[in-house]
Amino acid sequence: MSKQYAFYFDSSACSGCKACQVACKDKHGLRVGLLWRRVYEVTGGNWRRSGEAWISSVFAYNVSLACNHCEQPICAEVCPARAITKRADGIVLIDPDRCIGCRYCSWACPYGAPQYDAEAGHMTKCTFCAEDVDVGLPPSCVAACPLRALDFGDRAELEARYGAGDAIYPLPEVHLTEPALVMTPHQDAARAVTESARIGNQEEVDGT
């Protein structure tokens, strides 16, 4: 079986400190508005009255998300300029010299990974820090996480180590693109589906 690099994210361990987001932004010198790794703050639940008392059932958890270097990368499939390619080790990269800046990949990707750099006139996205990974170093987001909530490696090995779970809110169903993402869900992730959860920091993750 060929290698497929993947990220591992432990939602039950993430405190939402965003060290991963900042480390990525810093390493790649991303402009304002570009966030190759984003931490989605999911909130849900409510307060309910029980006699004289108000009982809280609110919940919150974080999802740290970058490009998932999908096994079926829809961005590469739809890109008219063949500017997006998948390496033999599974890493999906954008060639800025080939990109025409049509933004079609950003319409298609359900993870918000390809992002448009208006100043440069082309799309950008997480590179899995391929130049570091190639010399045996971890991606900057993984290295920066103080809670060890992020890891990386071969997808099959990560699944063997952490188990292969289903997608949790707000992520889409995995059959759409077969993301190379292994997750340990937060204990309240199942409630997000039934208790009208929402993303609490939408403006931040949208880069607006």
Partner 1 sequence: MKERSLVAFTLLSQMAVGAFWVLGALHVWATRRAGMAAAGALTDKALLAIGPVMILGMLFSFFHLGTPTNAWRAFANLRSSWLSREVLFAVLFTGLSGLLAGLRWFRVGTFAARNLIAWAAALLGLALICSMANAYRLRTVPAWNTWATPVSFFVTTFLLGGLTVGGMLAGNPGVPPGLWRLSLQWIALGAILLLGVELVIVPLWVVGLMAGRGAAVRAAAKITQEHRAIFWLRLALAVAGVAVAGLTLSPWGEGAQTGIATALAFGLVLASEVLGRLLFFEARVRHGV
- Which residues make up the interface to partner 1 (CB under 8 A)? 40, 65, 74, 77-83, 98-104, 107-112, 116-118, 120-123, 170-173, 176-177, 199, 205
- Between CA 20 and CA 17 the distance in angstroms is 8
CB of 21 to partner 1, least distance (A): 14
Q: Of 78 and 143, which CB lies nearer to partner 1 in the complex structure?
A: 78
Q: Which is nearer to partner 1, 74 or 133 (CB)?
A: 74
Q: Which DSSP letter does residue 116 get?
A: E
Looking at the Cβ atoms of 153 and 179, the one nearer to partner 1 is 179
Least distance to partner 1, CB of residue 91, Å: 19
Give how far Cα 52 sits from Cα of 45, 46, 47, 196, Å. Answer: 20, 17, 13, 25
Dump the DSSP string for 47-64. Answer: EEEETTEEEE--EEEEEE
Task: Give the distance from CA 63 to its chain's centroid.
Answer: 8
- Nearest to partner 1 of 84, 133 (CB atom): 84
Question: What is the closest distance, in whole angstroms, from the C-beta atom of residue 203 to partner 1 in the complex?
Answer: 13
Our CA angle for 100, 91, 83, nearest 5°, is 15
- Of residues 130 and 176, the one with the C-beta less far from partner 1: 176
Tell which residue, 108, 113, 141, has the closest CA to residue 125: 113
- Smallest distance, partner 1 to C-beta of residue 102, A: 6
The least CB distance from residue 160 to partner 1, in Å, is: 26
